[in-house]
Amino acid sequence: MRLIRNKFLAVVISLIGLGVGQLYGQSALDLRINEVLVYNDSNYVDDFGVHSPWIEIFNSAYNTVDIGGLYLTDDLSQPMKYPIFKGQPITQIPPRSYIVFWADDKPTRGILHLNFTLEAGKTIALFDANGRTLVDSVTIPHSVIRDVTYGRLVDGGAEWGNLDKSTPNADNDTSVKVLAGDEFARMDPTGLGMAAIAMTVVFLALALLSVFFKYMGKVMSIDIKKQLEARAAAKARAGVQAVVGEEEASELELTGELNAAIAMTLYLYATELHDAENTVLTINRVSRTYSPWSSKIYGLRKFPN
């Protein structure tokens, strides 16, 4: 059982380690500047109904990331130019989702309104909470077009360009996508392939479970056998010490005859078939409540001649 327990603890520790590694791996460093609009004449409007420049941040991780505490700037010499407020629900970016900041130089209008504006040729940067670690940056080219956003062609990707459509809080890739389910339905219109795959997965799972339980049964049986052998050896040593004493038992070789004698002694001792009361007189109560000497059936029927 100890071996099984150790293996189980090892698996649990490994899973915890993987979980912690994933937790640290998906952090503020997964945020990306994803799309910007420099000249907004008739594009997306802010919560005041004003056409302002804006910056979209994309969370490329598969867990929620809080952008609060980080810094946005348009000047690399001032990395902490705009501190993003902490502890706000609005700064929690869901997995693979977005947040839009308005570069209107009017920070009094809310958390999402920055204290700088956008211009062609400027570098926009996102810094970590320590104010030194650069999370992401982009330099706005002079070729940007009015009311046309400049962004990553694929969310979080490396290639930038002028986008065909403005996509604040949405996927930059607006091309028609074929879903995996649709593609599979096209390749397997009758569903036979899906049924075969499902049955294969089920049988493989059952086979793996069978192998697992068979292996665990062997491990448990070996462990139990070792424990029983250890207990038997301990009892044998205790029996030897009781018969010949500790000093003699340490020097005595356990032969077959000696083992048989020890076993017989332990058996007689356990069943109390020993003559330990040879000097004790035991008087038991008579089961009959009358004396045969006074019984009439044993009396004389005839007078003697």
- Domain coordinates of the chain in residue numbers? 10-175, 206-297
Mean pLDDT, to the nearest integer, of 133-148? 95
Task: Classify domain 10-175 at the CATH topology level.
Answer: Immunoglobulin-like (2.60.40)
If we measure between CA atoms, which residue out of 169, 176, 133, 134 comes closest to residue 37?
169
Q: By the 8 A CB rule, do 83 and 71 touch?
A: yes
Cβ–Cβ < 8 Å for 105, 119: no
**Burial annotation 89-126 (CB, 10 A radius, 16+ → b, else e):** eebebeeebbbbbbbbebeeeeebbbbbebeeebebbb
Q: Which two tokens stand for residue 276?
A: 């330990």
Most confident of 153-162, 186-195, 227-236: 153-162
pLDDT value at 25 more than 50: no
- Beta-carbon contacts of residue 27 (< 8 Å; ≥ 6 apart): 61, 65
Q: What is the pLDDT of residues 160-172, one digit of tens each?
A: 999 999 999 999 9
The reply to whether the predicted model has a pTM over 0.85 is no
> Is 52's pLDDT higher than 80?
yes
Q: Does pLDDT of 253 surpass 50? A: yes
